[in-house]
């Protein structure tokens, strides 16, 4: 894997080539896995935050100046990555805690969100899967906005839709997910 | 996503989207109209809309926020109009903004928080208020902190003094600033950082991008304390997060910061400053990671030594090198205690004054040296001890010689008288053998002898009776370490024997042998050799070569040869003695045991451990059968075995063997007997090698501080014990003391008799390392000057080093002893007035502080008051000494419960402090 490789893939992806997106995702995901294993090796009870990992992955993979368009594309992938990392992490914690027996799972460890409105990562993940079935594009909007922090313009750019569509998709996704979560069906 | 009109969900979605554009009544009308035909769709749409109403902030704060830098430009953020995007860093973006009131340009930092929460923002506001109070020309002011609703959502922001300038690294590079000006500039940075430290604020993120130089050429530190206010207590924002986000910051982080330690202190900032200075001087970073990734860079910071600057930039002076090294220590305790101290040392370096970093560096290196050369240092101990043992054993030979002499007392009457006197001695002592040294220390033999001798000297007995009694007294005193008494009585005995029997007589020869041994013990080696040789001539005509006294002489001569380094001659004599005894004596003979023991000890010292062990064990076995456990011979076997075990690296085994022996020696011979001291020194060395420094120090201290007159032939062990004390100081982080004591050790090693080359070499190497000579940090010239100074004895504290002893005592918790010494010093000085007024005041203050610590409050009060009066008379009212005494008095009265007095002195302190501060801006 070289920088130019990543750059080329980003370019293809930006021009609308979805196979490039998948390839890029695999590269970045493998890289992130290696990175986090290395970073966590020998460190007990420490987690590297996904934010930090993705920023670093970006810096590592794309060392030269990228135009803004490519950056948005990169971070749209990052959204999916972060989602996956958070879910993996939360599952690992649940398994570990259950394996350990009596110890209760501290809320803060698997919850994300703003104060007073915590969302369980795994619940959110399950709801997102339902959303994906109902409307894959809406699910992508959530990934990009919520997990990667992209603005609506960037999302529109990456998805190749109008800004107005993004606003609508986002409203729908929020309403859909909120309803799902309110139903309170526990994950798994 | 097909919106077939037949699909109720697709239809519901379409209606939902359209309803989004409408509000209130319009929306309600639209919904009623659109869903008229399908209650199912109506339910779906209304469900979605009402859920959306309830979502509020749901999912609005992204996990990762990649803010669009340009989004804020041209908008208003509270009171600020955002003008221009300046930079984006790991934690957010910085904009140039114009404040409306007061009208001014500010740097607006909009922070990127993955999870902005109201509690984080509130704490952030509060911390910023504290930071806002940092007012120093070298620190960028923080005007306001808060959170504001913007185009990109709710963002926390900081409004700071806008500095138009360059990063310090660019500034220096662009102007090719000469080293001197660079240092002056950097000193100002240190002083600004120090100001904040004094206000209790750490920076935690010092790096070139936070150190700007403004248009007037003045440095400004940005973002003070920002890192902390963001990360504290938020489990998601650990230091690890920041490590990832701020990859550009990583090289400036201290090892403890990189490790994620939570208890950072000023030394972490000092480390970061050290990295910046390194970079300014060399245009490079101190480490060269193999890969540019997090784990590798982290490893470098925590483990690798910085690349010496001299290797990169030849122009960097050795002083600057050690200063930067000191700031970059991995162990935070070894860095500068404050940014001010760092600045001070830079100032010294500029003015060609000796820098403080040097002193610590030396001992730091010495410490590493000690670790590398533990074997050698141990070897010195063992050689010294083996030597001392040999001397002890030679003395022991006297017992056999005396036995022979007793047999030679010719007159029956004299023999009876001698016997009666000896019987009297026996009765006066504990049950058991009168000559048994195991009991000797219990005062009885010694007391009896002390009482008896005046009668002998009073002329009551004949010369025939007196001669052997003097010889006996000499022997006992010698064993008790009273060498002068021993010499006096031996001289009397020798004279009587010469008068009675002439030179060529066994009795005369035996007292000569003792004379030689005493010369040896008092380090008169030439005299000792002369006496032994004359004695040898005499004996050859009197007794056969197998006679015990011949064997004793062979042993003494061999010991002397050994001491003089004539090892082959010594070995021949030791082997001869053993061979003769093996042929003459039975397997159980103590004399044979002695011969085994002596040759074994000789081989031990010359490193032939295998043969030595066989011989020593053979000797020990006989002695265990013949003598009891407290017998000197048994003890000397145990000592030799202990030495052997330590040479074999079995330190713990040696300690276990020697500890009981030491107990017996202390009880029977007393704490200052040379034999006790030799054993203590040996044990001190063993404990030091086991890393048990406290025990090592306590034992070594007893040896080093024993009254000098008790040391006699064993002076090298004092040098060795001092060396152990020096190492202990270094281990405890008192490097200054360590070096001082090391100098004393060197002095003793050079001048002490007998001169032990291994000790001289060992201590010398330690000192050389400690002067950093091998690192090229000292010039050859500086080095040789200091060496001469040491060798000539200049710069060495007068013996005993009382001030040092007090400091050690106080720091090791032995306050009462320290207090006693201080009181004595004050009394002595009261008469002699040898100290300067300042020294006397300091002494009294130290004494009072000890008293205070011992809760002798009334006494402390008196002494503080006296010191206070003296210092006011001597220095005037606002001298730092006076201030520190005012402080002491406040503390003292508070301890006494006299709050009125405490308040009065505190008020005076504040008043004086004000005077002082306006004068020199400095408080002690």
Give the span between the Cα atoms of B249 and B301, in whole angstroms: 12
Suggest the residue from B57, B62, B234 to mutate for an interface test with chain A (most A CBs closer than 10 A): B62
Give the span between the Cα atoms of B523 and B100, in whole angstroms: 91
Residues of A in contact with B90 (CB under 8 A): 55
Six token digits for residue B730 = 């270094």
**CB contact, 8 Å: A149 with chain B?**
yes
| Residue B479: CB atoms within 10 Å | 23
Indicate yes or no: CB of B49 within 8 angstroms of CB of A175.
yes
Six token digits for residue B674 = 């040379």
Q: In this complex, which of A39, A55, A114 lies closest to B117 when CB atoms are compared?
A: A114
Quote the minimal CA–CA distance from A179 to chain B in Å: 6
| Residue A99: CB atoms within 10 Å | 8
Burial of B489 (0-12, 13-18, 19+ CB in 10 A): buried
Task: Delimit the domains of chain A by residue range.
Answer: 3-183
Suggest the residue from A35, A47, A55, A60 to mutate for an interface test with chain B (most B CBs closer than 10 A): A55
Across A111-115, B15-19, B822-826, the highest mean pLDDT is recorded for B15-19
Q: What is the distance, to the nearest Å, from the Cα of residue A86 to the centroid of all Cα atoms in its chain?
A: 8
Give the span between the Cα atoms of B199 and B775, in whole angstroms: 38
**CB contact, 8 Å: B245 with chain A?**
yes
Give the span between the Cα atoms of B289 and B278, in whole angstroms: 16
The per-residue pLDDT for range B199-217, each reduced to its tens digit, is 778 888 898 888 999 989 9
| Residue B915: CB atoms within 10 Å | 12
Give the span between the Cα atoms of B560 and B260, in whole angstroms: 63
Indicate yes or no: CB of B58 within 8 angstroms of CB of A117.
yes
Domains, chain B: 8-55 (no CATH), 76-161 (3.30.200.20), 165-351 (1.10.510.10), 815-924 (1.25.40.10)
pLDDT at B840: 77
Q: Sorting pLDDT into bands at 50, 70 and 90, what band is B800? A: very low
Residue that is written with structure tokens 């007035």 in the block: B833
| Residue B772: CB atoms within 10 Å | 20
Buried b (16+ CB within 10 A) or exposed e, B11-50: bbbbbbbebbeeeeeeeeeebeebbeeeeebbebbbebbe
Is pLDDT larger for residue A184 or for residue B90? A184
**CB contact, 8 Å: A145 with chain B?**
yes
- CA-CA distances (angstroms) from residue B680 to B271, B563, B631, B887? 42, 22, 18, 43
Q: ω into residue B754 within 30 of 0, thus cis?
A: yes
Residue A40: pLDDT over 50: no
| Residue B134: CB atoms within 10 Å | 18
Indicate yes or no: CB of B59 within 8 angstroms of CB of A171.
no
Question: B757-770 and B735-751 are packed helices; what angle lies between their axes, rounded to 10 degrees?
Answer: 150
**CB contact, 8 Å: B154 with chain A?**
no
| Residue B260: CB atoms within 10 Å | 14
Strand order in the sheet with B80-89: B76-77, B80-89, B92-99, B104-111, B153-161, B142-150
Q: Which residues contact A148 (CB under 8 A, 6 or more apart)?
A: A54, A75, A76, A78, A79, A82, B62, B63, B64, B66
Residue B241: pLDDT over 60: no
Six token digits for residue B566 = 């004539």
Q: Which residue of B has its CA nearest to A69?
A: B68
> Phi and psi of B263, rounded to 5°?
-100, 65
pLDDT at B757: 63
Q: Are B241 and A51 spatial neighbours (Cβ–Cβ below 8 Å)?
A: yes
**CB contact, 8 Å: B63 with chain A?**
yes
Strand order in the sheet with B165-167: B165-167, B211-214, B219-221
For chain A, the distance separating the N- and C-terminal CA atoms, rounded to the nearest angstrom, is 37
Q: Partners of B221 in the beta sheet?
A: B139, B211
pLDDT at B804: 47
Residues of A in contact with B60 (CB under 8 A): 114
Long-range contacts of B232-238 (CB under 8 A, 24+ apart): B232/B123, B233/B123, B234/B115, B234/B120, B235/A108, B236/A49, B236/B114, B236/B115, B237/A49, B237/B113, B237/B114, B238/A46, B238/A49
Secondary structure of residue B380 in the 3-state scheme? helix
Q: In this complex, which of A55, A112, A113 lies closest to B245 when CB atoms are compared?
A: A55
Give the span between the Cα atoms of B407 and B420, in whole angstroms: 16
Give the span between the Cα atoms of B576 and B763, in whole angstroms: 36
Question: Length of chain B, please?
Answer: 924
- CA-CA distances (angstroms) from residue A55 to A23, A61, B157, B207? 19, 10, 21, 20
| Mean pLDDT, residues B881-891 taken together | 79
Indicate yes or no: CB of B240 within 8 angstroms of CB of A146.
no
Indicate yes or no: CB of B71 within 8 angstroms of CB of A151.
yes
Residues within 8 A of B (CB atoms), A 1-30 only: none
Catalytic one of B53, B76, B105, B205 = B205
Residues within 8 A of A (CB atoms), B 9-48 only: 9, 13, 16-17, 20, 47-48
B668 carries an active-site annotation: no
Closest C-alpha to B757, from B380, B290, B330, B227: B380
The per-residue pLDDT for range B591-602, each reduced to its tens digit, is 788 888 888 988
The string of DSSP letters for B684-745 reads HHHHHHTT-HHHHHHHHHHHHTS-GGGTGGGHHHHHHHHHHHHHHHHHTT-HHHHHHHHHHH
Q: Partners of B94 in the beta sheet?
A: B87, B109
Q: Which residues contact B723 (CB under 8 A, 6 or more apart)?
A: B377, B380, B742, B745, B759, B762, B763, B766
pLDDT at B604: 85
Q: Are B366 and B772 spatial neighbours (Cβ–Cβ below 8 Å)?
A: no
Listed in sequence order, the DSSP H helices in B85-233 are 118-132, 168-175, 179-198, 226-231
Long-range contacts of B489-498 (CB under 8 A, 24+ apart): B489/B453, B490/B514, B490/B515, B490/B518, B491/B515, B492/B457, B492/B466, B493/B466, B493/B467, B493/B468, B493/B469, B496/B463, B496/B466, B496/B467, B496/B470, B497/B467, B497/B471
Q: Which residues contact B155 (CB under 8 A, 6 or more apart)?
A: B67, B77, B110, B111, B112, B116, B147, B148
Q: What is the mean pLDDT of chain B?
A: 72
Q: Are A107 and A115 spatial neighbours (Cβ–Cβ below 8 Å)?
A: no
Question: Length of chain A, please?
Answer: 188
Indicate yes or no: CB of B55 within 8 angstroms of CB of A174.
yes
Q: What percent of chain B has pLDDT over 90?
A: 10
Residue B274: pLDDT over 80: yes
Residue B426: pLDDT over 90: no
Secondary structure of residue A173 in the 3-state scheme? helix
The string of DSSP letters for B443-464 reads SHHHHHHHHHHHHHHTT-S-HH
Q: Sorting pLDDT into bands at 50, 70 and 90, what band is B771? A: low
Is pLDDT larger for residue A8 or for residue B425? A8
Secondary structure of residue B243 in the 3-state scheme? helix
Q: Which residues contact B714 (CB under 8 A, 6 or more apart)?
A: B388, B391, B674, B677, B678
Suggest the residue from A33, A39, A50, A52 to mutate for an interface test with chain B (most B CBs closer than 10 A): A52
Q: ω into residue B225 within 30 of 0, thus cis?
A: no
Helix (H) or strand (E) holding A112: strand A111-114
The per-residue pLDDT for range B141-185, each reduced to its tens digit, is 888 877 777 766 667 788 888 888 889 999 999 998 888 899 999
| Mean pLDDT, residues B816-838 taken together | 69
Is pLDDT larger for residue B699 or for residue B814? B699
| Mean pLDDT, residues B663-682 taken together | 82
- CA-CA distances (angstroms) from residue A166 to B23, B153, B502, B894? 20, 17, 127, 72
Question: B674-689 and B632-647 are packed helices; what angle lies between their axes, rounded to 10 degrees?
Answer: 20
| Residue B717: CB atoms within 10 Å | 32
**CB contact, 8 Å: B232 with chain A?**
no
Secondary structure of residue B77 in the 3-state scheme? strand
pLDDT at A130: 92
Is pLDDT larger for residue B912 or for residue B467? B467
The per-residue pLDDT for range A104-116, each reduced to its tens digit, is 333 333 334 333 3
pLDDT at B520: 79
Q: Which residue of A has its CA nearest to B295?
A: A39
Q: Which residues contact B617 (CB under 8 A, 6 or more apart)?
A: B641
Q: Which residues contact B245 (CB under 8 A, 6 or more apart)?
A: A51, A52, A55, B90, B91
Quote the minimal CA–CA distance from B113 to chain A in Å: 10
- Answer positive or negative: Cα dihedral of B682, B686, B687, B691: positive
Indicate yes or no: CB of A149 within 8 angstroms of CB of B62.
yes
| Mean pLDDT, residues B643-655 taken together | 85
Give the span between the Cα atoms of B860 and B815, in whole angstroms: 14
Six token digits for residue B903 = 């308040």
Closest C-alpha to B728, from B419, B370, B352, B233: B370
Indicate yes or no: CB of A178 within 8 angstroms of CB of B58.
yes
């Amino acid at each position: 894997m070289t920088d130019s490789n990543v750059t080329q893939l980003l370019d293809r992806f930006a021009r609308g080539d979805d196979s490039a997106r998948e390839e890029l995702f695999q590269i970045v995901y493998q890289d992130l896995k290696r990175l986090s294993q290395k970073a966590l090796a020998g460190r007990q009870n420490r987690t590297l935050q996904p934010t930090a990992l993705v920023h670093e992955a970006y810096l590592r993979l794309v060392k030269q100046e990228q135009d803004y368009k490519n950056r948005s594309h990169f971070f749209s992938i990052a959204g999916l990555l972060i989602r996956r990392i958070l879910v993996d992490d939360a599952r690992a914690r649940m398994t570990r805690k259950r394996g350990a027996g009596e110890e209760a799972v501290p809320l803060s460890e698997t919850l994300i969100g703003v104060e007073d409105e915590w969302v369980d990562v795994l619940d959110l993940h399950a709801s997102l899967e339902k959303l994906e079935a109902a409307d894959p594009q809406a699910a992508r909007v959530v990934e990009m906005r919520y997990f990667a922090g992209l603005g609506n313009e960037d999302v529109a750019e990456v998805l190749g839709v109008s800004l107005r569509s993004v606003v609508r998709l986002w409203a729908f996704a929020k309403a859909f997910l909120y309803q799902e979560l309110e139903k309170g069906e526990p994950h798994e | 996503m097909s919106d077939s009109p037949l699909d109720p969900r697709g239809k519901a979605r379409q209606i939902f989207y359209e309803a989004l554009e409408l509000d209130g009544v319009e929306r309600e009308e639209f919904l009623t109209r659109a869903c008229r035909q399908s209650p199912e769709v109506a339910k779906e749409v209304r469900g979605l809309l009402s859920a959306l109403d309830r979502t509020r902030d749901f999912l609005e704060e992204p996990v990762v926020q990649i803010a669009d830098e340009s989004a804020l430009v041209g908008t208003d953020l509270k009171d600020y109009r955002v003008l221009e995007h300046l930079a984006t860093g790991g934690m957010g973006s910085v904009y140039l903004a114009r404040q409306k009131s007061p009208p001014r340009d500010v740097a607006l930092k909009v922070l990127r928080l993955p999870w902005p929460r109201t509690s984080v923002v509130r704490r952030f506001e509060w911390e910023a208020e504290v930071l806002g109070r940092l007012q120093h020309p070298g620190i960028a002011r923080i005007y306001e902190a808060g959170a504001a609703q913007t185009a990109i959502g709710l963002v926390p922001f900081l409004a700071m003094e806008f500095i138009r300038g360059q990063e310090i690294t660019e500034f220096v590079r662009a102007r090719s600033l000469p080293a001197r000006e660079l240092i002056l500039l950097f000193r100002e940075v240190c002083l600004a950082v120090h100001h904040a430290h004094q206000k209790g604020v750490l920076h935690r993120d010092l790096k070139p991008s936070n150190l700007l130089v403004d248009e007037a050429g003045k440095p400004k530190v940005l973002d003070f304390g920002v890192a902390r206010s963001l990360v504290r207590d938020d489990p998601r924002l650990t230091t690890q997060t920041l490590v990832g986000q701020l990859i550009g910051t990583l090289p400036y982080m201290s090892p403890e910061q990189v490790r994620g330690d939570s208890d950072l202190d000023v030394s972490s900032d000092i480390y970061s400053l050290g990295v910046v200075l390194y970079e300014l001087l060399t245009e490079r970073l101190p480490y060269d990671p193999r890969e540019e990734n997090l784990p590798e860079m982290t490893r470098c910071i925590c483990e690798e030594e910085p690349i010496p600057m001299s290797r990169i930039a030849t122009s960097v002076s050795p002083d600057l090198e050690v200063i930067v090294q000191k700031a970059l220590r991995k162990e935070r305790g070894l860095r500068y205690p404050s940014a001010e101290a760092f600045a001070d040392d830079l100032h010294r370096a500029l003015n060609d004054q000796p820098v403080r970093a040097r002193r610590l560096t030396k001992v730091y290196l010495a410490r590493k040296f000690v670790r590398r050369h533990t074997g050698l240092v141990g070897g010195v101990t063992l050689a010294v001890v083996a030597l001392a043992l040999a001397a002890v054993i030679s003395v022991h030979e006297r017992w056999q010689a005396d036995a022979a002499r007793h047999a030679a007392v010719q007159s029956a009457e004299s023999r009876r008288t001698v016997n009666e006197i000896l019987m009297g001695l026996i009765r006066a002592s504990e049950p058991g053998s009168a000559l048994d040294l195991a009991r000797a220390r219990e005062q009885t033999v010694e007391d009896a002898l002390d009482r008896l001798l005046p009668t002998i000297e009073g002329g009551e007995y004949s010369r025939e009776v007196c001669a052997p009694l003097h010889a006996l007294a000499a022997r006992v005193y010698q064993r008790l370490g009273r060498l002068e008494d021993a010499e006096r009585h031996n001289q009397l005995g020798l004279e009587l024997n010469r008068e009675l029997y002439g030179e060529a007589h066994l009795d005369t020869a035996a007292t000569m042998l003792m004379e030689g041994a005493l010369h040896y013990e008092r380090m008169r080696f030439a005299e000792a050799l002369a006496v032994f040789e004359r004695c040898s001539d005499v004996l050859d005509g009197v007794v056969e070569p197998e006679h015990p006294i011949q064997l004793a002489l062979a042993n003494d001569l061999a010991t002397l040869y050994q001491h003089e380094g004539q090892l082959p001659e010594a070995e021949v004599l030791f082997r001869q003695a053993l061979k003769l005894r093996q042929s003459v004596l039975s397997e159980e003979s103590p004399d044979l045991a002695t011969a085994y023991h002596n040759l074994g000890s000789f081989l031990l010292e010359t490193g032939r451990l295998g043969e030595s062990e066989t011989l020593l064990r053979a000797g020990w076995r006989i002695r265990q059968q013949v003598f009891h456990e407290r017998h000197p011979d048994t003890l000397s076997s145990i000592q030799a075995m202990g030495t052997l075990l330590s040479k074999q690296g079995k330190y713990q085994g040696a300690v276990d063997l020697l500890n009981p022996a030491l107990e017996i020696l202390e009880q029977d011979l007393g704490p200052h007997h040379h034999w006790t001291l030799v054993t203590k020194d040996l044990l001190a060395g063993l404990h030091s090698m086991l890393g048990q420094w406290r025990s090592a120090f306590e034992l070594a201290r007893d040896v080093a501080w024993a009254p000098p007159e008790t040391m006699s032939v064993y002076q090298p062990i004092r040098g060795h014990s001092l060396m152990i004390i020096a190492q202990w100081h270094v281990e405890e982080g008192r490097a200054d003391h360590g070096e001082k004591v090391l100098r004393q050790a060197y002095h003793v090693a050079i001048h002490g008799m007998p001169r032990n080359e291994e000790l001289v070499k060992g201590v010398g190497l330690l000192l050389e390392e400690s002067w950093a000579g091998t690192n090229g940090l000292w010039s050859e010239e500086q080095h040789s000057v200091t060496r001469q100074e040491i060798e000539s004895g200049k710069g060495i504290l007068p013996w005993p080093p009382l001030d040092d002893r007090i400091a050690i005592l106080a720091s090791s918790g032995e306050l009462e002893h320290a207090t006693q010494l201080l009181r004595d010093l004050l009394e002595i000085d009261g008469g002699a007035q040898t100290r300067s007024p300042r020294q006397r005041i300091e002494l009294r203050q130290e004494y009072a502080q000890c008293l205070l610590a011992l809760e002798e409050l009334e006494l402390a009060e008196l002494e503080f008051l006296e010191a206070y009066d003296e210092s006011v008379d001597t220095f005037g009212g606002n001298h730092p000494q006076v201030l520190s005494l005012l402080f002491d008095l406040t503390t003292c009265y508070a301890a006494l419960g006299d709050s009125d007095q405490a308040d009065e002195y505190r008020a005076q302190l504040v008043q004086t402090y004000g005077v002082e501060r306006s004068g020199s801006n400095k408080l002690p």
